[in-house]
Amino acid sequence: MLQDDGGGSAFAPLVVLELAPDTKEEAVAWLLSRIRDPQHSGGAELLVRQLGPGVEAGEKTNPNVFLVGASRRRLLSGAEDLGLFKEYSDGSMRGFTCANKLNFQGFTGDGDDFLSVAECQYIVKHELDTLRAKEETHVPGHSQAKLYPGKSIVRRLQSKGILVQMFPLHEKEELKRLSFSWYKKVKLAFQPLDDIRHYYGEGLGLYFGFLEYFTLALVPMALVGLPYYLFDWEDYDKYVVFAAFNLVWCTIILELWKQFSASLAFRWGTLSRKRAFEEPRPGFHGVLGFNPVTGREEPVYPAAKRHVRIYLVSVPFVLLCLYLSLHVMMIYFQMEGWALTLHDQDPTFWTGVLVFVPSVIYAVVIEIMNLIYRYAAEFLTEWENHRLESSYQNHLVLKVLVFNFFNCFASLFYIAFVMQDMVLLRQSLATLLITSQILNQVMEAFLPYWLQRRRNKKMIRRVQKRRTLGEQELPLEEQVRLEADMSTYLGTFDDYLELFLLFGYVSLFSCVYPLAAVLVVLNNVTEVYSDAFKMCHVFKRPFSDPAANIGVWQLAFEAMSVIAVVTNCALIGMSPQVKAYFPESDTQLILWTVAIEHFLLAVKFILTFLIPDVPKHIRIKLARLEFESLEALKRKVRADSSSPRRTNGAASANSTATAPLCTARLSASPELLMPPCQELVAPFQEAEFE
Amino acid sequence: MLQDDGGGSAFAPLVVLELAPDTKEEAVAWLLSRIRDPQHSGGAELLVRQLGPGVEAGEKTNPNVFLVGASRRRLLSGAEDLGLFKEYSDGSMRGFTCANKLNFQGFTGDGDDFLSVAECQYIVKHELDTLRAKEETHVPGHSQAKLYPGKSIVRRLQSKGILVQMFPLHEKEELKRLSFSWYKKVKLAFQPLDDIRHYYGEGLGLYFGFLEYFTLALVPMALVGLPYYLFDWEDYDKYVVFAAFNLVWCTIILELWKQFSASLAFRWGTLSRKRAFEEPRPGFHGVLGFNPVTGREEPVYPAAKRHVRIYLVSVPFVLLCLYLSLHVMMIYFQMEGWALTLHDQDPTFWTGVLVFVPSVIYAVVIEIMNLIYRYAAEFLTEWENHRLESSYQNHLVLKVLVFNFFNCFASLFYIAFVMQDMVLLRQSLATLLITSQILNQVMEAFLPYWLQRRRNKKMIRRVQKRRTLGEQELPLEEQVRLEADMSTYLGTFDDYLELFLLFGYVSLFSCVYPLAAVLVVLNNVTEVYSDAFKMCHVFKRPFSDPAANIGVWQLAFEAMSVIAVVTNCALIGMSPQVKAYFPESDTQLILWTVAIEHFLLAVKFILTFLIPDVPKHIRIKLARLEFESLEALKRKVRADSSSPRRTNGAASANSTATAPLCTARLSASPELLMPPCQELVAPFQEAEFE
């Protein structure tokens, strides 16, 4: 009965809904009916069916697992609803509309395979998220789960723990293909970014794009840095050269990345994609009130209260943590000193090893502290009760960034500028860098994989007990339950954070340890593989998110590169060789250092200003799209003004009705993207338009 | 015959076209016919009539003066064509469309007085500018004035000197009213910004808004600075306090100005106004080619050539000028020294006066050099042959800014940091400031006014010879010719530049001369009056330009405030009192100064980041408009998807036809403005939305 719903498509499971085992019958029935109801009666008009118990049926298996799919027609209308961008017949990316679907490339027949599975899953997720309560005051059978008209049902179920999880299904076949072209190839090659985006969505596509770009961008620095290590050049004028190169290079690569990411986003159609109005995040709570923007009834929470929590609790807490990490750092230095004295008293092989022990321990402790702090930060930010997911993310990122930066680099700053011991600096930089790299790789990929694998094996064995499998292909039921047990990918946050810290190790003290770049490059190469691997084998498939850029991380990296200018100038200023040029007075030396540093900073900002954020050919494409629409407008107006009848009551009424519609309908089309791009385009690039 | 053209409006002259006296008959006839032709045959569909010879008819009066008007219907369709923003019935500003004109506020009957005269004039100008050649290869009778399909006729006529000038007419009555409410009132009051915008357009409205804001913003600094002068406090810790206050203050006022200007622009509907595609500027020349954006045939000029001209000619020239001004500065210091020695040998009253003479002379010379350089810069930038007016403006502003900054402040920097003579610094700062203020006021308002007045008197007398006038009201003919003789207002450039330099005097050395703020406030108060006065009585009425912000000047002012941080920190670091705190070594002192300076800079950037550029209530309004359109979209999609018939060939065809139209038609409506505003809204403000 579900198959022949007019769409004429067989049921293909896209998304899995897992409800708590103790969910009341009526709640389940109500949810399913709401999901199945046609849209005009406020439903999501999707297909749902319960997952069979599978072979390992027992009281401990959760019966409330549901597979959600959708008819092809529904998916297409959903795509229009989302303003999804697809390639138009003229090669440009445009917001998909059912009305002129035939003008989109790859749309044949009823449009099978027009939408990628990831897109379908994203659409289904969106439809589920925007499934709103009507008159219900609470979830049937769960009186504690309050509802009010317009409240997103799924979010309420999530926040009340009735909906355990909602995740999209992997596609075994495509995953095999992807993983092969991604990291199983022996020969070194670029990552298949388009395939990654096709399977995981733009957000992850951009992350792996950035990882690859970052790695390649570091290669020149690594090459320049290598000889310093090989011939261990000690004279500082060489280091000055390296540092100068390093600073300019950091600025340039960050600017060019903007261009690269813009062209990726343009190709994937997210550059022009307009972000929909943001709903309150699931955890958000407050007294019922009216949203000034939507006019809908929804919980409101006074910003003042939030600010009190932020400034009177969060900020002091963060400062306390910083103080603690400072304290730990001091302990480390004591251990260090103790080990050194021991080594100096009777230098044996073991004491020689012992010298490195404190650094290693410290590195491990740092990682642990970061981990603990991370949970605290999440708890605090949750408690600050932000209304929007985006602002929650921003505050979390800020908290974590500040602490991680301090925690990882404080000791190095101390060694560099207080102890002024370059040898020790180099040594502990190396230790920190290498240890944290190894820890990361193990923690983030191999450990989870190992656990996952054991679970996997067990499941297969259990299944094999009952029936024989063709080359270990699991039946749907087991496959679903297996993925349900996989750990969830918590977004690109940690991956970006890791890159951010690595960037710090490379840029902050580059002029004392040129080898850092080499180490980071090596790390990133393995990172690509381990990340790819964990995405394919360790984690549930994440929902794709249509990101247009790497967001706040761009800012973070730029901030780091600014700090790097300061630190490097200071390091060089402190170097004996440079001091030698100013024998008479330190004053001269310092003044010169400061002058040069200011000059470099100025150059940085001018470069940032001069290098356009959006490459010329894309600016031209966007301009052309806009121009076409303006021309169309002119023709239209001519037509209007030459027919005065057009301006009668009825016409005006109808046109007032349609006007906002067509805006909205096309609000995702590239034409409307000019404003932000003009924002992006610094005044001086406009000259480049011809 | 022109009156009853369907619009049913009597001919009201809006814009004056003055052609060269030696223009060929056929050229005139052709131009007029092109202007009168209906739009569907490629004309502008405007009303034109020749200006009568007037009383002083003689061979020396130019017969080729034409008055351009338009029917009401034409103006309305032009307003839609431009996407002009008017207040909608719900109080929001929306792009005007004839179709639902009745939903706009103040639209009664046929919509007389719906558009302000300034708007009508702007529309007429736009229609004239976009009047394009069809098959003509050149202007009839002027074979040197080449044309090609799609080339703007008016621009070609201008660049060939056939069209001498095109300007909008003043409205005596309204001008009287405006000037009264503006500067004739005795009591001090805010300027009537809305009236100014109504008469002169948004660009000037914003300038006077900025002038007023800037003045008020300086009042606190003036108040704080006054006691330093009165009780002449000499101890530097007080100066430190003042400088610190000053730095924070500068940052805050610049940030808040963004908010103020955004709310002005929002109220005037230019914040959401989308800039139309920019045409090549009149002077632009090149070989015929195809524009990559429009695909139209138009002159193209390789960017490479332009860059060669910029970097190999303009930049060296600017550097040369800077060197020259440095040279002049040195001469000034020699004169200064000579005068001082003279004064020291036998100090009389006259030698005491003599001491100030060099500074005065230098100030005058600076003004003159700026003036000369200004012409050179305009010539060079013209020669660089920029395609867009905007990029021409940007390059011109940059050139002029750099030189003026250097020229005005070089001597002060020299005194402050090379001679380290604070007394001399204070003295010459005062002299420069006061002299340049006086010069400006005289040059820019009173001198022109005096000339203008003489011309005016003469004209009236001449007229009175022939007939008697009711209270000196001139007949149209004379009025037009009189305005034609008025000098042309060259835009807000010089006015902003003046404010920029004043801002420099206030902020750069604030901690040695707190009185500067007082002087600048006084200057600005008179400035308001003299500027208002010159706009009303000295200059032709300028065409209104729909500006949304003060553009590149915001950047310039922020750059200045950054430089101010550096200079002030340095000045304080150099002060003997501060030096006294670090008796043992200068090193400590310098390091502390640098540290504090870096800290202040960091605070500046964080403040810039934290203070939202668009005030909360406007962000909410914009968000609401966007939200409404998105909701409308959802309803629409539902409607579509519930009627599958919608997706047949015909429907899709028609919808592909209309889709771009409605986008374009509404491309100027606030909904589409979210992207740039989201650009403007820093991540952390998104939290503020609820």
User: Average pLDDT per run of 10 along chain B, which is 690 residues long?
Assistant: 43 89 89 89 86 64 87 87 81 78 81 84 89 85 83 85 90 84 70 88 92 91 83 72 82 90 89 69 78 78 90 93 93 88 85 82 87 91 87 88 90 88 84 84 76 76 62 70 82 88 88 84 86 84 86 90 90 81 81 89 86 86 77 60 42 33 31 32 34
Of A169, A192, A214, the one marking the end of a domain is A169
Work out the average pLDDT over A279-299. 78
What are the respective helix, strand and coil percentages of chain B, to the nearest 5?
65, 5, 25
Of A109, A143, A169, the one marking the end of a domain is A169
Nearest to A82 by CA among A63, A71, A97, A70: A97
Residues A131 and A185 in one domain: no
In a domain, A305, yes or no: no
In a domain, B690, yes or no: no
Distance CA B20, CA B160 (A): 10
In a domain, B664, yes or no: no
Q: What is the number of structural domains in chain A?
A: 2
| pLDDT reading at A11 higher than 50 | yes
Residues A228 and A274 in one domain: yes
In a domain, B216, yes or no: yes
DSSP reduced 3-state for B137:
coil
pLDDT digits (tens, 9 = 90+) for A163-211: 989 999 888 888 888 888 887 765 566 788 888 888 998 889 999 999 9
The identity of residue B280, as a single letter, is P
pLDDT score at B664: 30
Residues A44 and A82 in one domain: yes
Distance CA A125, CA A200 (A): 14
Residues B155 and B214 in one domain: no
Distance CA B224, CA B246 (A): 9
Distance CA A516, CA A509 (A): 9
Cα dist. B6→A644, B130, B520 in Å?
10, 23, 55
Residues A138 and A204 in one domain: no
Cα dist. B628→A546, A663, B395 in Å?
22, 11, 41
Distance CA B208, CA B524 (A): 11
In a domain, A91, yes or no: yes
Residues B449 and B568 in one domain: yes
Query: Does A109 contact chain B (CB < 8 Å)?
Result: no
Nearest to A326 by CA among A401, A421, A408: A408
In this structure, what token pair is assigned to residue B532? 């208002």
Nearest to B307 by CA among B403, B401, B398, B395: B395
A532 phi and psi, to 5 degrees? -55, -45
List chain A residues with CB under 8 Å of B676. Answer: 675-676, 678-679
Q: Provide CB contacts within 8 A for B6, sequence distance 6+.
A: A644, B71, B73
Query: Does A626 contact chain B (CB < 8 Å)?
Result: yes
Hunting for tokens 């993310």 — which residue is that? A393
pLDDT band at residue A10, thresholds of 50, 70 and 90?
A: low
Task: Among A34-43, A51-60, A341-350, A443-452, name the one with the lowest average pLDDT.
Answer: A51-60
In this structure, what token pair is assigned to residue B405? 């900054």
Query: Does B42 contact chain A (CB < 8 Å)?
Result: no
**Cβ–Cβ of A633/B390 closer than 8 Å?**
no
Distance CA B543, CA B19 (A): 18
Query: Does A327 contact chain B (CB < 8 Å)?
Result: no
In this structure, what token pair is assigned to residue B207? 């300038």
pLDDT score at B689: 32
Identify the helix (H) or strand (E) that includes residue B65.
strand B65-69
List chain B residues with CB under 8 Å of A586. Answer: 585-587
Mean pLDDT of chain A: 79
How near does any CA of chain A get to the CA of B651, in Å? 7
pLDDT score at A206: 93
Residues B116 and B148 in one domain: yes
Contact B20, B68 (CB under 8 A): no
Q: Chain A: residue nearest B589 by CA?
A: A587
Q: Provide CB contacts within 8 A for B240, sequence distance 6+.
A: B511, B572, B578
| pLDDT reading at A309 higher than 90 | yes
Identify the helix (H) or strand (E) that includes residue A309.
helix A303-309
A299 phi and psi, to 5 degrees? -60, 135
| C-alpha triplet A678, A680, A685: angle, nearest 5° | 75
Q: Domain span at residue A592?
A: 181-278+388-610
List chain A residues with CB under 8 Å of B688. Answer: 303
Nearest to A535 by CA among A185, A182, A265, A264: A182
Distance CA B530, CA B438 (A): 12
Residues A142 and A245 in one domain: no
**Cβ–Cβ of B277/A586 closer than 8 Å?**
no
Residues A443 and A489 in one domain: yes
Nearest to A492 by CA among A274, A253, A206, A218: A206
**Cβ–Cβ of B81/A634 closer than 8 Å?**
yes
B298 phi and psi, to 5 degrees? -160, 160
The identity of residue A524, as a single letter, is N
List chain A residues with CB under 8 Å of B626. Answer: 277, 667
In a domain, B597, yes or no: yes
Query: Does A399 contact chain B (CB < 8 Å)?
Result: no
Residues B265 and B145 in one domain: no
Residues A158 and A253 in one domain: no
In a domain, B643, yes or no: no
Could you tell me whether strands B85-87 and A297-300 are parallel, antiparallel, or unpaired per DSSP bridges?
unpaired
**Beta bridge partner(s), residue A168:** A15
Residues B19 and B146 in one domain: yes
Contact A100, B667 (CB under 8 A): no
In this structure, what token pair is assigned to residue A552? 């706040």
Cα dist. B385→B159, B302, B552 in Å?
13, 10, 20
pLDDT digits (tens, 9 = 90+) for A606-615: 888 888 888 8
Q: Find the CB nearest B661 among A300, A301, A632.
A: A632
Contact A505, A429 (CB under 8 A): yes
pLDDT score at B206: 93
Which residue has better confidence, A512 or A236? Answer: A512
Q: Find the CB nearest A672 among B649, B667, B690.
A: B667
**A315, A604, A666: best to mutate for the B interface, most B CBs within 10 A:** A666
Ranked by mean pLDDT, the top range of A432-441, A481-490, B65-74 is: B65-74
pLDDT score at B315: 92
DSSP B169-196: PP-HHHHHHHHIIIII-SS-----HHHH
Query: Does B642 contact chain A (CB < 8 Å)?
Result: yes
Of A148, A169, A190, the one marking the end of a domain is A169
Indicate the DSSP class of residue A273: P
Distance CA B36, CA B48 (A): 7
Helices (H) and strands (E) in chain B, counts: 23, 10
In a domain, A638, yes or no: no
pLDDT digits (tens, 9 = 90+) for A63-111: 888 999 998 888 888 888 777 888 888 777 777 878 778 888 888 777 7
- Burial of B297 (C-beta count, 10 Å sphere; 0-12/13-18/19+): middle
List chain B residues with CB under 8 Å of A636. Answer: 661, 664-665
| pLDDT reading at A19 higher than 80 | yes
pLDDT digits (tens, 9 = 90+) for A559-605: 999 999 999 888 888 877 788 888 877 788 888 889 989 998 998 88
The identity of residue A417, as a single letter, is F
pLDDT band at residue A57, thresholds of 50, 70 and 90?
A: low
In this structure, what token pair is assigned to residue A509? 């003290």
C-alpha dihedral sign at A164, A167, A169, A175: negative
Chain A residues 647-666 within an 8 A CB cutoff of chain B: 647, 649, 651-653, 655-656, 658-666
